[in-house]
Amino acid sequence: MRERLLAWTQAAAGLGADAVVKVNEIVCADPACPGLETILLLMPPGAATRAVKIGKPMAEVTEDDVRQALTSD
Tell me: the pLDDT tens digits for 20-73? Answer: 999 999 998 778 776 899 999 999 999 999 999 999 999 999 999 999 999 986
Its pTM stands at 0.87
Residue 14: is its pLDDT beyond 90?
A: yes
Q: Is 29 exposed, middle or buried (0-12, 13-18, 19+ CB in 10 A)?
A: exposed
Helix%, strand%, coil% for the chain, nearest 5:
35, 30, 35
State residue 35's pLDDT score: 84
Q: CA-CA distance, 61 to 52, in Å (whole number)?
A: 13
User: No. of H helices and E strands in the chain?
Assistant: 2, 3
State residue 58's pLDDT score: 95
State residue 19's pLDDT score: 95
Contacts of 59 (CB under 8 A, 6+ apart): 1
Distance of CA 39 to the CA centre of its chain: 5
State residue 73's pLDDT score: 63
State residue 33's pLDDT score: 75
